[in-house]
A and B are shown apart, each in its own frame.
Chain A
Amino acid sequence: MQNQVRVEARNIALSYGTTPVLRDVNLVIEPGEFFALLGPSGSGKSTLLRLIAGFNQAQSGQILIGGEDVSRIPPWKRNVGMVFQNYALWPHMSVWQNVAFGLEERRLPKGVIAQKVAAALALVSLSDYAKRRPSQLSGGQQQRVALARTIAIEPNVLLLDEPLSNLDAKLRLHMRDELRQLQRSLGITTIFVTHDQEEAMTTAARIAVMDQGVIQQVGTPMDLFDNPVNRFVANFVGSINLLPGSIRASAPPLRVVSPVLGEFSLPQLAQVPPAGAIEVGFRPHAVVLKAVDAPRDGEHVWLQGTVNDYEFLGEFVRYHIGLEQGSMVADQPHRAGHAPFARASRVAIGIPPAEMRLIGD
């Protein structure tokens, strides 16, 4: 295990001309953590990554790596390994030369370099491809060369810029596992940029969701999923139904009123937005669907709707349901022999209050 370092961003602001790209970004990534920056393109996540690598200069704020302010250290002295989105393998060098490059730049003895290159290539199972040129490799192999090239220098921090985006679906799953295992075995602080929430949730221990240059929320995947702080996070991390409503009484018990759902009380919530117009959110898989005439229990909040359409997705059936006002989505687990609700049929929808979140504007 290498010495693990903490990466910290303090009050980072960066703009290109008059366009702000990062606004007051504060972030702490713990030593050895596998951390993801998640956001749509243009959210500033790649810029933040390049800032850590030293390719961008922030107008204000600091980047600390292992407690040391690196803002003035050039990229080549940071010992921060980065894997580029398009891998950036040098076409004029063989695989072996590509991997050896960083070690040579560190003026290591020839024998040591040979040993470390061999080890790095073995780690990504490419020992037999050392003599090839990058153009002779498949996408997945190129990706692994890029990875081997980066970890060969034993960086303090590993940065991955959309590392899986150029791979096909199957390979992506495979590489995801490999990345996770590799990170676990190396124990290296790793920051991973992606726009794919599934990729982020399955690999990272913690995630920062970014939008428009601002960190919206930081947390474990489950935390983000269960307690999104705003509409953007709620929408971006998993899918959610949002119905309009307002808070009637903030003091417990919390009373919420909604034109579709009626008035009901909620148990203690992690976050309560200030009183006023809000949205009531709940995940599609959390609801229960029943025939309109079936008996309803008192644990759910019930409402009625019409099945507009449904999709069969194997593990579950996704219903698109029209309500009196607006629409919603409900996922129902599928079991063999169960017939789905027919299109145009009326259904009763039960929502457990514990699954409801209140999201402010």
Chain B
Amino acid sequence: MAIKHRAVSRRTRLVSACLFGLACAATLPAQAQQVLSIVTSFPKDLTAVYKKAFEARNPGITVEILNKGTSAGVAFVREAPDGNKPDVFWASAPDAFEVLANEKLLQKFDGANKAVPAKVGDYPINDPEGLYYGQALAGYGIMWNTRYMKANKLPEPKEWADLAKPVYFNHVAISSPSRSGTTHLTVETILQGEGWNEGWRQMLQIGGNCAAITERSFGVPDGVNNGQFGLGLVIDFFGLSAKSSGFPVEFVYPSVTAIVPANIGLIANAKNAELGKRFISFTLSPEGQQLLFDAKISRLPVLPAMYEKAPAGYPNPFGGKITAKVKFDSDLSRSRYYVVNSMFDHTVTFRHKELVAATKAINDAAAKLAGKPNAKAEALLNEARKVAYSPVVGEERARDKEFLSLYSASKRDALKTKQLTALEEEWGSQARKNYARAQELAGQAAALAR
């Protein structure tokens, strides 16, 4: 008995020794090289090119890319211990950088490339505080799958407003603005370009035409690439790079669109801040900007001079052709950021089924009425449209400072949570009621058309 016990304990010792050895082996690779660590939401296609170029230029430095997605990236930076934080944060969403800046997680440094203009259109390229820099430009546009369009006999769209047309019903996809900073900017661009009420009318109609409201911004181009959706609202490089990868897709910028920078910033209390600075400067240099033309990347440089060397047909945001016609007010955008997102979610994302049903009823009724004019039915249908496509918050209220201040604090106390959820409930149930009413009205109109 005793002997056997010893055998057992020997085995346990062996196992624990193995475990310990493994642990040591994992921690062993001594870091003779300097490591630059970058947190990013960008795909490998982009980061790999930069990593290779930067390492080639700086022997002895290893670039460690941590691809985490925007939200996880912010949390990772926040939770990493001071002095051991990653060095660079590199992502599209401007809101993520604002959050990092607010939480004092970004480090100011003088690394701007002076040749970069202050603004693209009306949007500042670099953070006015100097905490982060625009590294590439991205415009929002419409991407579609040519096979899908052909199979479903759909016309090619040109403007956002086109997407509100009944012909695109159930063929569109959009990502939720609360999940994608660039989608938010597109929504905001439409709202500022068309005005609050008209803008929402358009957004709700587009929402009603959507086959899906995706949770990730990449979900839209992914679905269009598959042929799962016919068209989608996407950032240009999603469309351009997919096309260059051989997918049967096309991309256009509408005349009213947002051109915004994707940013890069130095993280405060980083492990290797100096390396971080060097990398940021590299990405802003002509050499670093040149890399953006790579077919798999297909992004727009912030250096206007670069466009002289651009491949033929490459869009140029500084050339005037796709300059946003809207005078984009970024302060206004910032002030109502959470209101717009929350409204969109509670009236479109979470009530999508009902919105689609209402839109279908309205489209059906309109189709029936097309051949036989009927004043009463027309009136009913217009009423249905009005009910379905009006924002649940009026323009006045959307400007109310007190109302907006509800959303300002990042931490929420019991009272605020209560007020906010009360608003969410109000919007959600109002939207549900509106869509049901619209469906009913459209049904009545359709009945009159017989």
Chains A and B in contact, CB within 8 Å:
no
| Chain B residues packing against A (C-beta within 8 Å) | none
| Chain A residues packing against B (C-beta within 8 Å) | none
